[in-house]
Chain A
Amino acid sequence: MKLLKQIFIFGGTVSLIFLLSCEEETVTVTEEVIVTDTVTVTETDTVTVIDTITVIDTDTVLIGFAVPETYLFTRDGDTTVSYSGQTIRLKMAKEMVNALKDNTTTIAQLLAMFDHQEGGSDFSDADLNASSKQVKNKIGNNGTATNAAAIRADLETWMTNQVDSVFPAWTDEASKGLAGYIQEAGGGSTRYVNQNGLENNQAVNKALIGALVADQVLNGYLTPAKLNSGTNEADQAAQTKVDGKSYTNMEHYWDEGYGYIYGLAADGIDPVTTPGSNDIFMLKYIGKVDSDPDFAETADELHRAFREGRAAVVEAEFEARDAAAQHIAKTASLVIGVRAAHYLKSGQIGLAATTPDMAGVFHDLSEGFGFVYSLQFTLNPETGAPYFSREEVMEMLSKIYPTSGGMRGFWDVTQSDLEEAATTIATAFGFTYENA
């Protein structure tokens, strides 16, 4: 492995050279490199990584391949990046989630959005209707068939509960055991919850961050199994393009992974520094985590790993590619872990108030519920397994959303159960309850 994982706090000159240079394999840096501090970090410390660079010594920087500043890759003057199918699926999922907030939506309409068939008039956007893409067939297809069926059923159960229980109670005040509306304090937002205080739309929205986005990226497109499938490695080495396309198969797979996260960014080429995005899934929460000083640089780090990996693919540097993919897995998983713990903690703090704002608590916990659900789709690169298995996730959900023995979900959850779950999550990812 050529990447020596080290952190340097170094001058702007060097970083500029690093970013702009490199047509060739070895680059000699002529300017003096001023290294003010050197810290060796282990893989588990990447949360605090300030910068990562491939270094042999302070005079010569060996970069196996060029890493551009933005997600801009070309061949013979044509862009080689394409992820329109991912953008379409994200738009479909977003329309589906939004339809859950419209009490005139029928279950048939929702299910048709979920397993859209080409030409079906399921969406408001004609491009989506004309597309052959579908959300449902991308759910759970990286795991066992049993789990895939169970995950799809979970999503459909929440959608059905929304239509059958919440929509008819749209103008009723929610209370323990009864669905309805409940308003946040101070004339705040009105939330629509089921009989147990859960906002089904939030459960579906946040579960899709794992079930659709993280799973497709981490357990699908960026895995060596997927990237190396068929004759991809040889094709890449020979720069053999897909018939009629500017890209190779492996490049396209990597970009499809990229598209699940950045497909709704205002500028997919430079989504970190360009503000604006229509995303309601992973990208939105990368931004939220990044704005927490405890997890600063998360957005930049993740995007750089995507660029490094993509550049490595171009150069057929597969070890570097897989190192970048592992970095992505770790960072994207962390985003889910941080938000899961964050919302459970917010709910706990809300419940601690003398006059709890239950609508606010339910909203936080409903988001937390979806993020906890998404934990089963994370990938710990050190173990090759998710940070929490499906069984562990379901067990945790039964604690934070207890519905057995007459318990009424978020109406009955205790502060200690929330704190315990949030702490368990934080510990698994190497942060603390306080950081959440």
Chain B
Amino acid sequence: MRSFLLKWPLLIKNKMKNNLLTLCCFTTLSISALFLSCSEDDNVRLDEGSLINQNDFTDDQIDGDTSDSVDTTANDAGVGEAFTRGAMLVNWADKIIIPAFESLVKNMDSLSLAANEFTDTPNQENLINLKQSWLNAYLAWQTVDMFDIGMAEEITLRNFINVYPLDAQGMTTTLLAGNYDLTSINRQDEQGFSALDYLLHGLGNTDEEIIAFYTDETNGGKYKTFLTDVVDRMHSLTSIVLADWKESYRDEFIERDGNAATESVNSMVNDYIYYYEKFLRAGKVGIPAGVFSNSSLSNRVEARYRGGVSKELLIKALNSVQDFFNGVHFSQEDSGMSLKGWINYLEASGSTNNLDSLINNQFELIHLQLENLNLDLAQQVEIDNIKMLETYDILQKNVVFMKVDMLQLLDITVDYVDADGD
């Protein structure tokens, strides 16, 4: 069954642009396989009145040529699109998560290469090239940060890749002392993207000053070694996660298609909302804006040493979150089974709540608000923090829509609590 499903990934196309309902087009074979795999669970929610049933899947639909009888705007007819957890998991894994990790690892390949070139020949050209590779990889990271599940969760990937603020003083001490252990939790705030941010932008005011650290007779070697070690570790950890997805976890992920708290959908949705709440809303906006402290903390923004890219990183993260909600395939226009589709399916029976529109509209409001912000969120905090606080408030509304309203509708229990704080 597993290999079978691998060979016949569900073909899911979206004929409609943007926020319209999507339509699943399965091959007869793959849909049969799917039903076999879920038939003992209660998650096959094909209502009797549904316009979709097994016999409706014809060769026409394989090509994505949907017949009129399967109306994607099913709400109008009072019937939702066929929804199965399994189909959503397949879309998530094959069209979003794995491609996103593939893209990240490709960017890590480039980063490694650029780092090697720079340490071999520390000059301005190589430094500029390395900085660009770092930014590309950092943007790619924003597309996977929410997938803290499977191997990523097991090895606590996020904690080794993107802890900020950096403990710059601790990192420098570690770097100069040598003989460090980057696998230690004690070193988590001394590595990852923020460490590279400092090593590439924060050591001096000009490229010359920065390069001087790497060409220094006494300590230059230590800086080169540490830079290489940090990049290698990021490269290797992200590669491990990608390999695990492709070699084994993908199948486990889609097989765990029940509705228990420990199964994939509930876990992923919790991870998703947790990420949005804690790392996007709070980490990228709330903490710098001082929402959780007595005063604003402009030095807590992402990529603070580079400056000027924190909004770009936030936008990338926000787009990724919104695309995941809508099931949009990684780096493509098409989309497949998603939280939005699920909401539509559940709301189909006469409800006019349109929770999915509410959530998507809120995402659009966030984008509108971001247009008002400085490219550098640290400067925004310094110049006009009110706009940052407003951004936080607008972000917070989608916490409520998703964590409260959506989870209630989907019958998913929140599996995390706020930390003690002491």
Contact = CB atoms under 8 A, between A and B. Distances in A.
B156 A187 contact: no
Contacts of B184: 173
Contacts of B159: 185-187
Contacts of A359: 185
Interface in B265-283: none
Contacts of B186: 173, 181-183
A187 B167 contact: yes
Interface stretch (A84-92, A162-170, A350-358): A350-358
A187 B156 CA distance: 12
Task: Assign chain A's interface to a size class.
Answer: 10 to 19
Contacts of A354: 153-155
Interface string B187-210: 011000000000000000000000
Contact of B158 (A173, A183, A186, A358): A186
B220 interface: no
B188 A186 contact: yes
A184 interface: yes
Contacts of A186: 156, 158-159, 163, 188-189
A357 B159 CA distance: 11
Contacts of A173: 184, 186
B416 to A, nearest CB: 11
A371 to B, nearest CB: 13
B165 interface: yes
Contacts of A355: 154-156
Interface string B144-186: 0000000001111011000111010000000000000000111
Given A173-B186, A357-B185, A359-B185, A185 B156 contact: yes
Contacts of B185: 182-185, 357-359
Interface string A180-200: 011111110000000000000
Contacts of B153: 354
A359 B189 CA distance: 14
A403 to B, nearest CB: 24
A375 B156 CA distance: 36
Nearest to A358: B185
A183 B155 contact: no
Contacts of B163: 186-187
A407 to B, nearest CB: 23
A187 B155 contact: no
B189 A183 contact: yes
B415 to A, nearest CB: 11
Interface string A286-308: 00100000000000000000000
A181 B158 CA distance: 22
A186 B154 CA distance: 14
B188 A183 contact: yes
Contacts of B167: 187
A187 B166 CA distance: 8
Contacts of B165: 187
Contacts of A357: 156, 185
A336 to B, nearest CB: 16
Nearest to B186: A183
Nearest to A355: B156
A185 B420 CA distance: 15
A421 B158 CA distance: 33
B174 to A, nearest CB: 11
Contacts of A187: 159, 163-165, 167, 188-189
Contacts of B156: 185-186, 355, 357
Contacts of B155: 354-355
A186 B186 CA distance: 9
Interface in A358-374: 358-359
A358 B159 CA distance: 14
Interface in B81-131: none
B284 to A, nearest CB: 15
Which of A173, A183, A359 counts the most chain B CB atoms within 10 A? A183
Nearest to B163: A187
B172 to A, nearest CB: 15
Interface in A38-92: none
Interface string A147-176: 000000000000000000000000001000
Contacts of A181: 186
A151 B253 CA distance: 53
B335 to A, nearest CB: 32
Nearest to A356: B185
Contacts of A185: 156, 159, 185, 188
B373 to A, nearest CB: 25
A104 to B, nearest CB: 20
Interface string A312-340: 00000000000000000000000000000
Nearest to A183: B186
A292 to B, nearest CB: 9
Which of B155, B163, B164, B420 counts the most chain A CB atoms within 10 A? B420
A188 to B, nearest CB: 8
Interface string A206-220: 000000000000000
Contacts of B189: 183, 186-187
A182 B188 CA distance: 11
A425 B316 CA distance: 48
A82 B193 CA distance: 56
A155 B165 CA distance: 37
Nearest to A288: B420
Nearest to A342: B420
A359 B420 CA distance: 14
A288 B422 CA distance: 11
A357 B154 CA distance: 12
A196 B184 CA distance: 19
Nearest to B167: A187
A358 B156 CA distance: 13
B182 to A, nearest CB: 13
B42 to A, nearest CB: 24
Contacts of A183: 185-186, 188-189
Interface string A26-38: 0000000000000
Nearest to B188: A187
Nearest to B420: A288
A92 B158 CA distance: 41
Given A186-B159, A186-B188, 4 more contacts: A173-B184, A173-B186, A182-B185, A358-B185
Interface of B: 153-156, 158-159, 163-165, 167, 184-186, 188-189, 420
- Top 9 nearest A-B pairs (CB, nearest first) are A187-B189, A187-B163, A354-B154, A186-B159, A183-B186, A355-B156, A185-B159, A185-B185, A186-B163
22 contacts: A173-B186, A182-B186, A183-B185, A183-B186, A183-B188, A183-B189, A185-B156, A185-B159, A185-B185, A185-B188, A186-B159, A186-B188, A186-B189, A187-B163, A187-B164, A187-B165, A187-B189, A288-B420, A354-B155, A355-B154, A357-B185, A358-B185
